[in-house]
Structure 1
Amino acid sequence: MGFWSLFIVASMPNLQFLLVGLLGAFLASGYINILSTNALRDMNKIVFVVFSPALVFASLAETVTLQDILSWWFMPINIGLTFLIGGILGWIVVKILKPEHHLEGLVIASCSAGNLGNLPLIIIPAICNEDENPFGESSECKTIGLSYVSFSMALAAFFIWSHTYSLMRKSSALYEQIHGENATIKLPENDSGRSGEAQNQYKEGYRDQEALLLPSTKPTDRAAEHQIIAPLLSKGEGSKNKPHFWTSPKATLTWIAEEFLAPPTIAAIFGIVIGITPWLKSLIIGATAPLRVIQDSISLLGDGLIPCVTLILGGNLTPGLRGSAVKPAVIVAIIGVRYVILPLFGIAVVKAAGVLGFLPPSPLFEFVLLIQFTLPPAMAIGTMAQLFDVGKEECSVIFLWTYLVAALALTIWSTIFMWILS
C-alpha cells in the first residue's frame, strides 16, 4: 500500500475526533455556554464513575482470554517505558525551563502520561473500518484492536492513578502551601481620617473577599468534597501526612491500596477476571448467556464514553483560548517530547522487542504499542486538575496546543507506523 493511501487511512479517525472536539468547544463557548464549568465538572464525574468503567469492563470481559493476557505480557512493560521515558524528559524540561513550582507536576505529567484509552478507542476502530487498512478484514481487525486497546486502557489506569495522581496531588499540596504562606492581609496605611473602627471594618471586609477568592488552605476540605468521585482523595493533608514505609508499613500498604481504588481500575480488574474465567464468562457473555442483559446494559453505558469524553475535551480546551498561563517555551517543550522524541523512542523499543521475540505475530499489536508513545497528554490530568483545583487554567492551555498539534502529529506518525509494519 502506498504512503499516500496510508496517510488517508490514518487521517480519518483524527478528523472525526477533531470535529467532535470542535463541537464541544463551541458548546462551551460564550455563544451557547451549554457546557459551563459546572456542567463540565459534572460530566467529568459521570465519565469517571460510570462511562469509563463500563467500557473497560465490557471490552475486557468480552474479548480477553487467559491466553491473550499471557501473550500480551510486553504491553505493561511498553506502557511503563512510556511513563518512565516521558517522566525523565519532563523532569529535564522542568529543570531547564523552571516553570512555577506548583506547575512542575503538571508539566511532568503532561510529558509522561499519554491518552492511552480514549484516543486509541477512536483511532483503532476507525482505521479498521477503512477498506485499505493494512491489518486485515474490518470486523476482525476492530474486534481484536478493541481488545488490545481495552487492555491498554486498563493498564494505563494503574499508572495514571498511581504515578500521575501522585504528581498532581503533590502539586496541589504545594499550591496550598504557597497560598497559605502568601495569604497576608495588606491594610491601607492608617491616617488621621480613618478611625480604628473603620480600620477594623476594612479588615473584616478584606477577609470576606479573601475567603471568596483564595482556595481553602486545608486540603482535607477539598478532598472531602470529591470523595464520591475520587476515593483516592482520602484523609491525608498532602505529602506531609504520607506515612513512611519503615515507620508504618501497614499504613503505607493501606495508602497504596487506596491509590488503586479508582472506578476504571476496579472495572478493569473485574473485566479481566471474568474474561479469563470461562464459567463466569459464560454467565454474562454471549447470545445464550443467562445474565447477558448485564453485559448489554454495561456495553450501552460504555458506548457513551467516546462522545462524552471528546465533547469534554473540546470544552476543556476553550479556556486555553482566553489567555496563556504557561510559558510558550514550556508548551513547545511538551509538544517536542510527546510528538518528536517519544515516538522515536517508541520505534526503537518496539522494533527491538520484535527482534527479540517478545511480541505476538500481530502487526496490529505492534501498531498499538507504537501509538502508545505518540499520544497527547491523558485527559485524566485535566480531571485531576479539576478535582484538586490546581493548574486548571494552565492545563487547559497545554491541552489546547497539544491536542491541536495531535491532529497532525497522530496522522503523520500513524502513517509512518503503518508503512513500517506493512
Structure 2
Amino acid sequence: MGLWEILVTASVPVLNVLLLTAVGSIYATDHVGILSHGARKHLNSVVFHIFNPALVASNLALTFSLESMMLLWFMPINLALSSIIGSAFGWLLIHITKSPSHLRAVILACCSAGNIGNLFLVLVPAICKEKGSPLQNLDVCRTYGMAYASLSMAIGTILQWSYTYNIVRISSNYKESQENCSSNGTIPSLILITGGNLIKGFNGPGIPFPIIIGVIAIRFIALPIVGTILVEFAVHSGFLHSDPLYHLILLLQNAVPPAMNIASMIQMVEVGEGELSVILLWSYVVASMGLTLWSMFFLWLIS
C-alpha cells in the first residue's frame, strides 16, 4: 500500500466515528435537547443491558467455535497487560504531577481502561470497506471484524469492571453510591451516547493542564508503543495465528481513548465527575489525529 492509500484507509473510519460522535454532542446541547441527561441515562441503560449482550452473543455465535476461540487466547492477555501497564503509567503520572487525591481515581481509570468495545464496532467494519485496505474479502473481513470487536468488548467489559473499577474504588476515599448509571450502547446509539456524554466536558471544572497532557500522552504514545512491541514479539515468536485482521485488532487495542464505562465507575464513587468529562473531551479530540496516525502505522505493519 502507498502512503496516500494508508492515510485514506486509516482516516475515513476514524472520521466516521467522530462525525457520529459530533451528532450525539449536538443532540445533547441545551439548544437541541434531544439527548438530555435523563434521555442519556435511560438509553444507556437499555443498550447496556439489552443491546450490548445481544450484539456480542450473536456475533460470537455466528463466527466462532470452541476450537477457533482457543486460537484467540492472546487477546485477553493483551487486554490485561494493557490495563496493568496503563495503571502503572497512571500511578507514575499521579506522583510526577502531584495530583490532588480526588483525581487519583480518575487518572488511574483513564490510563488503564480504553474504549475497546463500541469504538471497534464502528471502526473495524469501516476499515474493511475501504478499497485500499490490506484486509481482503469484504464479507469475511466484516464478519470476523465484528466478531473480534464483540469479543474485545466482552473481555474488556469484564476487565474494566473487575480490575479498573476496583482500582477506582480503592484509590478513592469515597463511599460507593447505590446509583448505577450504565454506559455504552450499540451501533449507532452507542456512538451518539458517547458524544452526548462528552458534551459535559465543555462546561467542566478546571483541571491542571499537565494531568490532561499526561493522560493523553499515556493513551496515545506510551501504551501504543509498549503494546506494539508486545504484540509484534508474540507474532514473530509464532504465538499468534496468521490473521492480519486479528493482528490489527490486537494493535488497535493499545491505541484508543479512555473507555466511556469510566463515567459509570466515577459516578459510583462520587468523585471527580466534572474533571473526568474534561479529560474525556480532550482525549477524544486528540483521538481524531492520534488514532488515525496509529491506524496508518498498523495498516502498514500488517500489509
Task: Using structure 2 for the length normalisation, give the TM-score.
Answer: 0.95
**1:111 paired residue number:** 111
**1:374 paired residue number:** 255
2:200 partner letter? P
Q: Does structure 1 retain, via aligned residues, the 8 Å contact 2:94–2:107?
A: yes
Of 94-103 and 409-418, deviating more is 94-103
Q: Does structure 2 retain, via aligned residues, the 8 Å contact 1:313–1:379?
A: yes
Q: Does structure 2 retain, via aligned residues, the 8 Å contact 1:27–1:34?
A: yes
Alignment of 1:20-419 (within 5 A): 20-170=20-170, 174-176=173-175, 219=176, 222-223=177-178, 225-226=179-180, 305-419=186-300
Q: Deviations over 1:108-141 (max 9, x none)?
A: 1101111111111111100001122101011111
1:88 partner letter? A
* Partner SS, residue 44 of structure 2: helix
Q: Does structure 2 retain, via aligned residues, the 8 Å contact 1:74–1:359?
A: yes
Q: Distance in 1 between matches of 2:232 and 2:76?
A: 16
Of 63-72 and 352-361, deviating more is 63-72
Q: Distance in 1 between matches of 2:264 and 2:133?
A: 34
Give the superposition deviation at 1:388.
Answer: 4.0
Q: Deviations over 1:349-386 (max 9, x none)?
A: 11100111110111111110000000100110012223
Q: Does structure 2 retain, via aligned residues, the 8 Å contact 1:106–1:171?
A: no
1:69 partner letter? M
Of 116-125 and 47-56, deviating more is 47-56
CA RMSD, aligned part only?
1.8
Q: Distance in 2 between matches of 1:118 and 1:86?
A: 20
Q: Distance in 2 between matches of 1:169 and 1:351?
A: 34
Q: Does structure 2 retain, via aligned residues, the 8 Å contact 1:171–1:390?
A: no
Q: Does structure 1 retain, via aligned residues, the 8 Å contact 2:121–2:149?
A: yes
Q: Distance in 1 between matches of 2:269 and 2:62?
A: 35
* Partner SS, residue 86 of structure 2: helix
Q: Does structure 1 retain, via aligned residues, the 8 Å contact 2:9–2:133?
A: yes
1:342 partner letter? L
Q: Distance in 1 between matches of 2:60 and 2:169?
A: 29
Give the superposition deviation at 1:336.
Answer: 0.3
Of 385-394 and 138-147, deviating more is 385-394
- Give ranges in structure 2 of 5+ residues lacking alignment: none
Give the superposition deviation at 1:38.
Answer: 1.9
Q: Deviations over 1:41-94 (max 9, x none)?
A: 222222221121121111112211112111111111111111111111011001
Of 52-61 and 352-361, deviating more is 52-61
Of 403-412 and 58-67, deviating more is 58-67
**1:248 paired residue number:** none
Q: Deviations over 1:374-411 (max 9, x none)?
A: 01001100122234433221111011000111111111
Q: Distance in 1 between matches of 2:107 and 2:36?
A: 26
* Partner SS, residue 92 of structure 2: helix
1:65 partner letter? S
Q: Distance in 1 between matches of 2:170 and 2:237?
A: 39
Give the superposition deviation at 1:164.
Answer: 1.3
**1:295 paired residue number:** none
Q: Does structure 2 retain, via aligned residues, the 8 Å contact 1:350–1:369?
A: yes
Give the superposition deviation at 1:169.
Answer: 2.8
2:244 partner letter? P
Q: Does structure 2 retain, via aligned residues, the 8 Å contact 1:44–1:383?
A: no
1:59 partner letter? N
Q: Does structure 2 retain, via aligned residues, the 8 Å contact 1:41–1:386?
A: no
Q: Does structure 1 retain, via aligned residues, the 8 Å contact 2:13–2:123?
A: yes
Identity rate, percent: 42
Q: Distance in 2 between matches of 1:18 and 1:39?
A: 21
Give the superposition deviation at 1:9.
Answer: 0.8
Task: Using structure 1 for the length normalisation, give the TM-score.
Answer: 0.69
**1:186 paired residue number:** none
